[in-house]
Chains A and B, each alone.
Chain A
Amino acid sequence: MNVRHLYLHLPFCASRCGYCAFVVEVGGYDRRDAYLEAVLAELDLERPRLGPLETVYMGGGTPTLMRPSRIAALVERLGPLLADGAEVTVEANPETIDQAALRALLKAGVTRLSFGGQSFQPHLLRALDRGATPDQVRRAVLYARGLGFPSVSLDMLFGVPGQTRDDLERDLAEVVRIEPDHVSWYELELKPGSALAARGATLDEDFAEDAYARIVERLEQAGYHWYETANFAWPGHECRHSLAYWTARDYLGLGVGAVSTVGGVRWRNAPGVDRYVAALGRGEAPARSREDLDEDTRRRERWMLGLRLDRPLDVAWAGPPDRPDALARLADLGLVENGGGTVTLTRDGRFVQNTILNELMESW
């Protein structure tokens, strides 16, 4: 096996945000060392699958709650596995780090920081239960760049209940002003199980449509490259780890709730830090749910993922769609462009990807 992309899940959080339905552990800091040991033990178990790692991504949770010392220890252990020029990303919450912490991460070999900003408007940060102030978000990005991190990314949200068009314009202006190298701008999803959903929040479809179009327009105007559905980057700052997902490459995920896809098999580690730690303490793999991906499913996933990117999808690589004749119809509607052996979504098409995918495929 030759897996080149590694995800590490670091689940600890100070509190759960209102929109969050991820696998996180609130508090429980005394278990951080034990958890780290367990993740390293799982890494040892899975090591035979790994080739030289081109990308590593530490997500959460709030990875920065692991403190720089533990992250440094992790990166150090990964060192021998890393390929030359590997991308090593850590997700960070602006309120959990300071200059010293950022220096420590840089020194440890982290090449890319992904900050959870979500908004610069205080009332929206409150609505999302975010702990950072707008100023902390701003400073985190600026410090990180000042310190010389090769790439700094900022996560933003739109469609937050209570968000106005003016709020969105202010957020856009702020992002363009502080110039992160990379921006992920997602629509808020009301996931069942999140506190926002439980509070009965609703989303405004009309607002969200306008907001999405406006975000793309404004960021492109500022020179960002809309390289994936919800991701924007300065040239050369595309997230290589995410690109691995979108080009359907194999990846290994370690830690609670982490998902791996290797050789047509996908598995997900069960949530629950205690059981995870206990299993690996016994030298066993953690509890996992497994999904076998047949060739049709893999072919369809290649289309589903590949069409998220602005680069042409190579049909010879992906395999034919279930309904090849739909391509001509979609081209007539101005939604796709058919090149010689490639398919690219037009700007209009990129906004209605799901509809297009369901035109192309019989089932999922």
Chain B
Amino acid sequence: MDQSLIRNFSIIAHIDHGKSTLADRILEVTKAVSEREMRSQVLDSMDLERERGITIKAQAVRVAYTARDGRTYQLNLIDTPGHVDFSYEVSRSLAACEGALLVVDASQGIQAQTLANTYLAIEGDLEIVPVLNKIDLPAAEPELHARAVADLIGDDPDRVLRISAKTGAGVTEVLEAIVERMPPPAGDPDGPARALIFDSVYDQYRGVVAFIRVVDGVFRKGDKMRAMQTGLTVTAEEIGVMAPAMTPTGELGAGETGYVVTGLKDIGDLRVGDTLTLASAPAPEPLPGYREVKPMVFCGLFPVDSDEYPELRDALEKLSLNDASLQWEPETSQALGFGFRCGFLGLLHMDIVRERLEREYDLELLATTPNVEYRVTLTTGEVIAVRSPSELPHPSKIEKIEEPYVRCTVLVPQDGVGAVMGLCQDRRGVFVTMEPIEQRQQIVYDLPLAEIVLDFYDQLKSRTAGYASLDYELMGERESPLVKLDILLAGEPVDALSMIVHRDHAYTRGKVLVEKLRGTIPRQMFEVAVQAAIGGKIIARETVKARRKDVLAKCYGGDISRKRKLLERQKEGKKRMKQVGRVEVPQEAFLAVLEIGEGAGGKK
């Protein structure tokens, strides 16, 4: 294939700004799928993706487009995830491209996430084609947003395309701009073969399938390939392109994008960002930019019914086949029994994994408070990583604790500035800068990641009526005066409810948490003390009174079946409880911890 006729591009867009609709329209216009096959949003194939309107795994689709210059181009659309948790996957997708479409909703303008991904694209030297979508909406303000988008990428407002992916208006102009403005790939077709793995999936029948962008040389079916980071050698059992269904082509040359079937069983063997080369004639250097993806958020996952532990293990194993960033290891909790401590890229990732476990594997799970990884220096000089409050050593053995910080960028209309700054201050934020972008303010704060993983995003949305958008990046660790807050039920510490908090917040959080728990834990056969303690010292106490009656409904001939149903409902309710020592604790109690940031700042 002549590289000058190839264009590899991504679409950068905020959730709901129309990325998937535009992608669908491109497939339609280029006749890659017939209208009859056209399932809405072909690219987002996982159910959860479709429901939440987000893309989790990146994918690549090849279409042929005959441009106005009469030549037929091979366009490879490389889809990118649209959420901050998956920013590494975004950066790898972008690294496989020479250009990017920046799609912005003509009524809403640029959002923080778009901004972050646009900077990634600019840093990666991509040619950016700006597109205002949804110009058919009454609230659209194309002129205003065109100027802002042009400012952002240093382009002329007149070159900002105005389209409606929904109606199809302007979509051909987008395709023309891709061909005209974006450069073709510039790899060495005759050099030692190198390809970037920008995504991989596990297929039950074919093993690991890697999505690759060939930079130099050519890969053929049957080639022995080597993954340069892991050092693993593997045979290319099949090579082809997504059109959009998997279509074998036998080879992929420089500049092309497609897939390789490997038969490998472990997706961790072919990692996103790794470079493939030929084992027989290896390239001397891998492609730049590989880094190991590290989980940032951890929580314990426990089956509500402890008999389901083996099922949970199987389910995690299966999910891991397709998700190399999901980490897990067995964990034992005194309160919750056997479970797993899991590591996630971020909160959304955690939610998605939990939801998939519950929905696809029919498991009922209890999740403990999410927390971050702390670096703890002991008095002996030894440094340990703490991913769970129960791993935190006794204070007398701790020299210092460091916690991860993130730089948070929030875009918000002027009248939301106070609310955002208030929230950031409450959450131990350190102000960095504020500057206007379009008609909004870009506020930058440095915040402990631990404060974000609670309910920061929800609070941000609710305090700004949904107008604020958020992006953050990890910026290393800082020392903080942190303590472990223990919760005791009926005098027994419940490890699954303990948390690591800033010393100055410990008292308020403890108080709010025991109040929340008192409201969540139903009355038992006996009185239950709910206490918060730091280092053995009780700092707050509430009491769940004993249940003294539950039977008063009358029960005559017409009531008997109804009464039985009532008992059955009560029994079902009890099944969803977890027995913690003598106390029955409902699932919501473990989530109460998530909501206490609210009260801790003293503001509503």
Which residues of A come within 8 Å of B, CB atoms? 7, 184, 186-187, 189, 206, 208-209, 212-213, 229-230, 242, 245-246, 251, 253, 257-261, 266, 268, 291, 297, 300-301, 304-305, 308, 333, 335, 350-355, 357-358, 361, 363-364
Contacts and interface: CB of A to CB of B under 8 A. Distances in A.
B56 to A, nearest CB: 39
A186 B561 CA distance: 19
Nearest to B566: A354
Contacts of B571: 358, 361, 363-364
Contact of B549 (A184, A209, A242, A363): A209
Nearest to A155: B554
6 contacts: A7-B557, A186-B552, A268-B558, A300-B564, A351-B551, A354-B566
Contacts of B550: 351-355
A352 B574 CA distance: 15
A245 B556 contact: yes
A253 B555 contact: no
B560 A245 contact: yes
A352 B525 contact: yes
Contacts of B553: 186-187, 189
Contacts of B292: none
Nearest to B524: A355
B570 interface: yes
Nearest to B549: A351
B564 A297 contact: yes
A355 B558 contact: no
A293 to B, nearest CB: 9
Contacts of A251: 557
Contact of A354 (B556, B557, B561, B570): B570
B568 A363 contact: yes
Interface residues of B, number: 25
A143 to B, nearest CB: 26
A354 B567 contact: yes
Nearest to B567: A364
A245 B564 contact: no
Contacts, number: 96
Nearest to A351: B549
Nearest to A251: B557
Tell which of A187, A209, A242, A251 has the most Cβ of chain B within 10 Å: A209
A234 B525 CA distance: 32
A304 B564 contact: yes
Contacts of B554: 184, 186, 230
A294 to B, nearest CB: 12
A213 B551 CA distance: 12
A48 B23 CA distance: 75
A301 B555 contact: no
A87 B547 CA distance: 38
Contacts of B565: 364
Can you list the 5 inter-chain pairs with the closest CB atoms, starting with the nearest? A187-B552, A353-B551, A364-B568, A259-B558, A351-B549
Contacts of B560: 245, 259, 261, 266, 301, 304-305
Nearest to B551: A353
Given A354-B567, A364-B571, A245 B555 contact: yes
B549 A208 contact: yes
B548 interface: yes
A268 B558 CA distance: 8
B563 interface: yes
A253 B551 contact: no
A357 B552 CA distance: 14
A300 B564 CA distance: 9
B8 to A, nearest CB: 59
B555 A291 contact: no
A9 to B, nearest CB: 9
Nearest to A244: B557
A301 B557 CA distance: 12
Contacts of A209: 548-549
